[in-house]
Chain A
Amino acid sequence: MEMTGAEITIRCLQEEGVEYLFGYPGGAVLHIYDALFQQNKVKHVLVRHEQAAVHAADGYARSSDKVGVALVTSGPGLTNAVTGIATAYLDSIPMVVISGQVPTFAIGEDAFQEVDAVGITRPCVKHNFLVKDVKDIASTIKKAFYLAKSGRPGPVLVDIPKDVSAHRTEFVYPASVNIRSYHPQGRGDSNQIRHAAQLLLEAKRPMVYAGGGVVLSDSSAELTDLVRLLGFPCTNTLMGLGSYPANDKQYVGMLGMHGTYEANMAMQHCDVLVAIGARFDDRVIGNVEHFAQVLRKIIHIDIDPSSIAKRVKVDVPIVGDLKLVLGELLDVLRSSRQKPAATDMAAWWTQIDEWRVTGGGMRYKNSSEIIKPQFVIETLHKLTGGDAFVTSDVGQHQMWAAQYYKFNHPRRWINSGGLGTMGFGLPAAMGVQLKHPGETVACVTGEGSIQMNIQELSTCKQYHLPIKVLSLNNGYLGMVRQWQEFFHGNRFSESYMDALPDFVKVAEAYGHIGLRIDKPSDVEPAMKEAFSRKNDLVFMDFRTDPTENVFPMVPGGKGLSEVVLSEDL
């Protein structure tokens, strides 16, 4: 049967099993919206800003194992989406973004709402396409989903000119995809895996460092088995939180700039390091030269060869799907019937336990006068039993959420780690809530970040999304203020925002419930009240200590063992 390009586009989404399409209409996508109107399989979620459409699709993908999908119009629709696309790109989130384009005959003429979408997004997508012929729509969308999901996942953009979406052709959805230039690695090299197993068994001071790749490849079970089998300590990156259960005794906490003392010290002083789906980011290992001062063998397992040996030298590189590689590594270890030497392990754990004492765990001085932000997160953890989906924005509140909410399951911690996008939290929470109706979704945000996409409270109303917003309102762009205090002589240049709105009234204006919480003793009752309202979005405006700083901290450019534990900076 002949169909229009627009109808084909929607049919493709149906074929891919797309539940939700997050989008915003405009001239170049009118045909596609028309086709959308005439079906009811794919549900469209109308956001209030295209950036939010992409973040919502992103949150949907992060909290599930599906591809997030967004639809935007040409020109400003596409440019608004770019921040969202870059956010997904830096965290390797599977996503397909469909954008409208001016008609093919107008391309290059500076037509109304024309931008070079493929050119603008090129550096922040896994791949992108401009579809110039209606006959290519189906195969292109098929490829887009395949590319987004396979190998190292990432966002893929499909740009469809308006005339192409109006033209007609026969609809055939390809059964399979073959891209001759693209062959993501499945299994890892068996020799390398055996070599890795040997190193692990001989290690005296081993360390497992697991990142977002474990979450993305759904390999938490394999990771957990490996760590327990070997009796090794395990740390997670900001992106990997939940991939290893935080309540396990072998877990040493998050590492990096605001990680635990023991995680950073063990990372620095280990003799065999196995990096799994992590990329030695500058926020994780700090100063590369300092890190390299200690000699250690590094085993690096990742789906993307270009992540290996990018910032540090690696002794045993293993490229492959983490699930398969870890599975094979476990088999090799189990059939060897060997274990690392018990005396070495005991000595190493004694050392780690000493670091645990020195570091003192995640600690802060609570107050009965003023709300400490850490206390809010601890209460959130207590009341939700550590089982909520927690999205966050970017800043101090993000770090406190990562430090004080103990994630025991993957895909529960949803944050923009790579790009650090303020404005991510609320729209991402919308995607999460749609994917998980009935579950608790908490958005931990700051008074700065929330205002970058606060208009989405309106979307939440329209789709009845009972998200719990916890705004840690310190009256400052707190993370900026912290750096200015530490490194810029207390010159708080433009980090204080005057004339903040009354957030309770804002929430109410959008038809939600707003609570303002000023006293520590009101934190728990307010949260209980909020969580008891299963069907309502509740915006909690916690007035927190404006001078609180995030610790521990490895200052930028410093080494992991040069961590500052508290205010004595």
Chain B
Amino acid sequence: MRHIISLLMENEAGALSRVAGLFSARGYNIESLTVAPTEDASLSRMTIVTSGSDAVIEQITKQLNKLIDVVSVMDLSEGEHIERELMLVKVRAEGDARDEVKRLTDIFRGRILDVSEHTYTIELTGSCVKLDSFIDAIGRELILETVRTGASGIGRGNRILSL
């Protein structure tokens, strides 16, 4: 099953490589991994999208907790949460396709950030599934380039990951 794990870690050199190294050394999947400092500059927040059986996910959480730099870990997918990913996509926009792409972008609540004679560059935010559907809707033959940030997540309501 797909899981989205959030963690807070010391914002120190090498902390990221400890997490990445853990996943590769133990053969765990990483679908995406994002990391950036938080409002407290001494802490970084990381979101990891992974998949595995319940036993594997339990091990992943325990092994992450065991890393000395990791302050706290939460499996967001265990409860209500919000998940967002940002994608920038450059598509070929010529002739009839120009209108069609514009229309689809509106439907998906995306924004066109850059326009050239032959291309649009579109910004789209949403769940990973939504971004996937947008790509399918546009059609792969029109897509010139995509860049995705990987998912970030946060719990709903009182589910708070803090020190």
- Give me the interface of A with B, judged by CB distance under 8 Å: 118-119, 122-123, 126-127, 130, 147, 179-182, 304-306, 309-310
Contact status B13-A130, CB under 8 Å? yes
Instruction: Take A119-B17, A181-B10 as given contacts and tell me if A126 and B62 are in contact as well, using a CB distance cutoff of 8 Å.
Output: no
Report how far A306 CA is from B56 CA in the complex, Å.
11
Nearest to A156 among chain B residues (CB) is: B68
Which residues does chain A contribute within 8 Å of B18, judged by CB atoms? 122
Report how far A306 CA is from B70 CA in the complex, Å.
15
Report how far A305 CA is from B73 CA in the complex, Å.
14
Contact status A306-B9, CB under 8 Å? no
Contact status A306-B63, CB under 8 Å? yes
Contact status B65-A123, CB under 8 Å? no
Which residues does chain A contribute within 8 Å of B63, judged by CB atoms? 306
Nearest to B68 among chain A residues (CB) is: A127
Report how far A310 CA is from B71 CA in the complex, Å.
22
Contact status B68-A126, CB under 8 Å? yes
Contact status A181-B70, CB under 8 Å? yes
Report how far A305 CA is from B60 CA in the complex, Å.
11
Shortest distance between the CB of A544 and any CB in chain B (Å): 39
Report how far A181 CA is from B58 CA in the complex, Å.
19
Instruction: Take A179-B68, A305-B62, A305-B65 as given contacts and tell me if A122 and B163 are in contact as well, using a CB distance cutoff of 8 Å.
Output: no
Which residues does chain B contribute within 8 Å of A130, judged by CB atoms? 13-14
> Per a CB cutoff under 8 Å, which of B17, B62, B68 touches A182?
B68
Report how far A127 CA is from B13 CA in the complex, Å.
13
Report how far A110 CA is from B14 CA in the complex, Å.
19
Which residues does chain B contribute within 8 Å of A309, judged by CB atoms? 55, 58-59
Shortest distance between the CB of B43 and any CB in chain A (Å): 10
**Residue B52 at the chain A interface, CB threshold 8 Å:** no
Which residues does chain A contribute within 8 Å of B55, judged by CB atoms? 309
**Residue B66 at the chain A interface, CB threshold 8 Å:** yes
Report how far A182 CA is from B70 CA in the complex, Å.
8
Contact status B62-A181, CB under 8 Å? no
**Residue B69 at the chain A interface, CB threshold 8 Å:** yes
Contact status A181-B13, CB under 8 Å? no
* Beta-carbon contacts under 8 Å, B34-48 to A: none
Report how far A15 CA is from B10 CA in the complex, Å.
27
Contact status A306-B62, CB under 8 Å? yes
Report how far A309 CA is from B10 CA in the complex, Å.
28
- B contacts with A, residue count (CB < 8 A): 21
> Known pairs A306-B66, A309-B55. 18 more at Cβ < 8 A?
A119-B14, A119-B17, A122-B14, A122-B21, A123-B21, A123-B25, A126-B68, A127-B68, A130-B13, A147-B68, A179-B68, A180-B163, A181-B68, A181-B69, A182-B68, A305-B66, A306-B59, A309-B59
Which residues does chain A contribute within 8 Å of B13, judged by CB atoms? 130
Shortest distance between the CB of A182 and any CB in chain B (Å): 5
* Beta-carbon contacts under 8 Å, B70-117 to A: 70-72
Shortest distance between the CB of A89 and any CB in chain B (Å): 12
Report how far A118 CA is from B69 CA in the complex, Å.
14
Which residues does chain B contribute within 8 Å of A127, judged by CB atoms? 68
Report how far A306 CA is from B55 CA in the complex, Å.
11
Which residues does chain B contribute within 8 Å of A305, judged by CB atoms? 62, 65-66
Contact status A310-B69, CB under 8 Å? no
Shortest distance between the CB of A315 and any CB in chain B (Å): 15
17 contacts between A and B (CB under 8 A): A119-B14, A119-B17, A122-B17, A122-B21, A123-B21, A123-B25, A127-B68, A147-B68, A180-B71, A180-B163, A181-B9, A181-B10, A181-B70, A182-B68, A304-B66, A305-B62, A306-B62
* Beta-carbon contacts under 8 Å, B1-51 to A: 9-10, 13-14, 17-18, 21, 25
Shortest distance between the CB of B56 and any CB in chain A (Å): 10
Report how far A147 CA is from B9 CA in the complex, Å.
17
User: What are the 8 tightest A-B residue pairs by CB atom distance, in nearest-first order?
Assistant: A306-B62, A181-B71, A127-B68, A305-B62, A123-B25, A306-B63, A306-B66, A182-B68
Nearest to A182 among chain B residues (CB) is: B68
Report how far A241 CA is from B68 CA in the complex, Å.
30
Which residues does chain A contribute within 8 Å of B58, judged by CB atoms? 309
Nearest to A127 among chain B residues (CB) is: B68
Nearest to B55 among chain A residues (CB) is: A309
Among B13, B14, B70, find the residue whose CB has the most chain A CB atoms closer than 10 A.
B14
Contact status B59-A310, CB under 8 Å? yes
Among A123, A179, A306, find the residue whose CB has the most chain B CB atoms closer than 10 A.
A306
Shortest distance between the CB of B41 and any CB in chain A (Å): 15
Report how far A127 CA is from B68 CA in the complex, Å.
7
Shortest distance between the CB of A300 and any CB in chain B (Å): 13
Which residues does chain B contribute within 8 Å of A118, judged by CB atoms? 14
Nearest to B64 among chain A residues (CB) is: A306
Shortest distance between the CB of A134 and any CB in chain B (Å): 17
Report how far A180 CA is from B162 CA in the complex, Å.
12
Nearest to B70 among chain A residues (CB) is: A181
Nearest to A307 among chain B residues (CB) is: B62
Report how far A182 CA is from B65 CA in the complex, Å.
9
Report how far A306 CA is from B25 CA in the complex, Å.
15
* Beta-carbon contacts under 8 Å, B149-163 to A: 163
Report how far A119 CA is from B71 CA in the complex, Å.
21
Shortest distance between the CB of B155 and any CB in chain A (Å): 20
Which residues does chain A contribute within 8 Å of B71, judged by CB atoms? 180-181
Which residues does chain B contribute within 8 Å of A126, judged by CB atoms? 68
Report how far A119 CA is from B25 CA in the complex, Å.
13
Nearest to A304 among chain B residues (CB) is: B66
Among B9, B63, B66, B72, find the residue whose CB has the most chain A CB atoms closer than 10 A.
B66
Report how far A160 CA is from B14 CA in the complex, Å.
16
Report how far A118 CA is from B18 CA in the complex, Å.
10
Shortest distance between the CB of A180 and any CB in chain B (Å): 6
Shortest distance between the CB of A556 and any CB in chain B (Å): 20
Which residues does chain B contribute within 8 Å of A179, judged by CB atoms? 68
Among A118, A123, A179, A181, find the residue whose CB has the most chain B CB atoms closer than 10 A.
A181
Shortest distance between the CB of A141 and any CB in chain B (Å): 15
Which residues does chain A contribute within 8 Å of B68, judged by CB atoms? 126-127, 147, 179, 181-182
Which residues does chain B contribute within 8 Å of A182, judged by CB atoms? 68
Shortest distance between the CB of A257 and any CB in chain B (Å): 23
Which residues does chain B contribute within 8 Å of A119, judged by CB atoms? 14, 17
Report how far A181 CA is from B71 CA in the complex, Å.
4
Nearest to A306 among chain B residues (CB) is: B62
Shortest distance between the CB of A231 and any CB in chain B (Å): 34
Shortest distance between the CB of A7 and any CB in chain B (Å): 26
Shortest distance between the CB of B42 and any CB in chain A (Å): 9
Nearest to A309 among chain B residues (CB) is: B58
Nearest to A123 among chain B residues (CB) is: B25
Shortest distance between the CB of A309 and any CB in chain B (Å): 6
